[in-house]
Amino acid sequence: MTEMVYGTVPVRDVEPILPKWWRTVDTWTLTCILILFGIGMLLGLAASPPLAERNGFDPFHYVQRQAIFGGAALVALFLTSMMSPTLVRRLAVIGFAGAFVALMFLPVLGTDFGKGAVRWYSLGFASVQPSEFLKPTFVIVAAWMMAASQEIGGPPGKLWSFMLTMLIVGFLVMQPDFGQACLVLFGWGVMYFVAGAPMILLIAMAGLVVIGGTVAYQNSEHFARRIDGFLNPDIDPTTQLGYATNAIQEGGFFGVGVGEGQVKWSLPDAHTDFIIAVAAEEYGLVLVLVIIALYATIVVRSLIRLMRERDPFIRLAGTGLACMFGVQAMINMGVAVRLLPAKGMTLPFVSYGGSSLIAGGIAVGMLLAFTRTRPQGEIGDILRGRMR
């Protein structure tokens, strides 16, 4: 009788946050990330003690710091993956503004730590690299602009995103950091392609990249030195690429054995940019293939889940994050085997580095938030709804 007079009482969704998150999140991607982090800790135990000894620290100084940074990254990953896409977008816009301002002031307040490129802020107890936090937040902002341009009467979001991309690339080149600049351009290009960019425009952009690379080669000693080293058929055995190449060859299929590798005593960046050389020498091709398979699983599963997504913003942002994540891993490993020039780029969740680990946790958390299973109507229902 009550329902006849007052109507039915609406039923609220009272499912707790954690069970709902676990039911909707991509557990395969999450598992792959955790395995990569575990592999990173394992390789850190092998690669970092020699560096700690040279710097006068305890043998496991860098391993302990990686565990702390990795713990913070995993917390950021879990918290971000529980957010709604709208909340992710709002927080990313704020984060992008802060990271962009930090990038602008790097030439004045930043430091190069003797590496020839001003990319970091020194905090005394740690350092921060703004470009690592800029990449995932930039993807969200650019995807938001592109999605808005697809609406009737929407703003020229594609043009705005292109202008923003060029501005960021300009600041990155000033550091100089051509690797991160290329990664930002790639991320924007993938999203622009998914958003419906004409192929002729993408070809023209590729031509501009070639022209820009030529100008950089002629005017930047830092850039020219790396390109010359890559094109030189003879590898200097005393360089980082020489040590890494020899380590990979020595490792063979099964490796020389746990703790038996020698490259970690010679490479100053064995625990960061060339961590894959340590993996190849001590554990062989087997572990390298496992690492490649983990990255491929994350990217492919994310793209498959995004193909079912109806929201243009989620589809664009998720695609940009997934592709940028995979390409960064490919660049790092490609440099170690001399398929690409040296870039100074970390291997996500495996290399040591506070900024890269925490920013990677945020980026993958965003990706997991976008690829969570959510109720969506069939495409035919959506089209019929628009026709009414």
Taking only the tens place, the pLDDT of each residue in 183-226 is 999 999 999 988 887 777 778 777 877 787 777 777 766 667 66
For 135-173, give one letter per residue: b (16+ CB within 10 A) or e: bbbbbbbbbbbbbbbeeeeeeebbebbbebbeebbebbb
- Mean pLDDT, residues 361-371 taken together: 96
What value does the mean pLDDT take over residues 163-176? 89
- Better pLDDT: 72 or 255: 72
pLDDT for res 59: 84
259: which DSSP letter? T
**Comparison of pLDDT for 200 and 231, the residue scoring more:** 200
- In this predicted structure, the answer to whether residue 296 has a pLDDT above a threshold of 70 is yes
Distances from the Cα of 251 to the Cα of 49, 238, 244, angstroms: 20, 18, 11
Q: Say what the pLDDT of residue 1 is.
A: 46
Q: Indicate the pTM of the whole model.
A: 0.87
Angle, to 10 degrees, between the axis of helix 61-81 and the axis of helix 354-370? Answer: 20
Q: What is the pLDDT of residue 96?
A: 96
- Is the pLDDT reported for residue 383 higher than 50? no
Q: What is the mean pLDDT of the chain?
A: 83
- Token output for 63: 């391993």
25-34, 116-125, 146-155: least confident range: 116-125
Greater model confidence, 301 or 59: 301
pLDDT tier, 48 (very low <50, low <70, confident <90, very high otherwise):
confident
**What pLDDT is attached to residue 28?**
95
What is the reported pLDDT for 145?
94
Q: How do residues 89-114 score in pLDDT, each as one tens digit?
A: 999 999 999 999 999 998 888 887 77
- Judged against a pLDDT cut of 90, whether residue 370 lies above it is answered with yes
Distance from C-alpha of 216 to C-alpha of 67, rounded to nearest angstrom: 38
Nearest CA-CA partner of 269 in 244, 248, 237: 244
Confidence of residue 379 (pLDDT cuts 50, 70, 90): very low
- Average pLDDT of the segment spanning 12-28: 82
- What percent of the chain shows pLDDT beyond 90? 40
Return the higher-pLDDT residue of 14 and 254: 254
pLDDT band at 387 (very low <50, low <70, confident <90, very high): very low
Residue among 372, 366, 370 at smallest CA distance from 312: 370
Q: Which residue has the higher pLDDT, 376 or 307?
A: 307
**Which pLDDT belongs to residue 237?**
59
pLDDT at residue 323 is higher than 50: yes
Percentage above 70 pLDDT, the chain: 87
Among 84-88, 133-137, 377-381, the least confident range: 377-381
For residues 138-144, average pLDDT: 96
| Closest C-alpha to 337, from 254, 235, 222 | 235
Does residue 177 register a pLDDT over 90?
A: no
Least confident of 13-27, 253-267, 289-303: 253-267
DSSP H helices, the chain, are 2-6, 17-24, 27-54, 61-81, 85-104, 106-109, 130-149, 157-174, 178-194, 199-219, 221-231, 240-251, 275-307, 312-336, 354-370, 379-387
Q: Which residue's entry shows tokens 């946050």?
A: 17
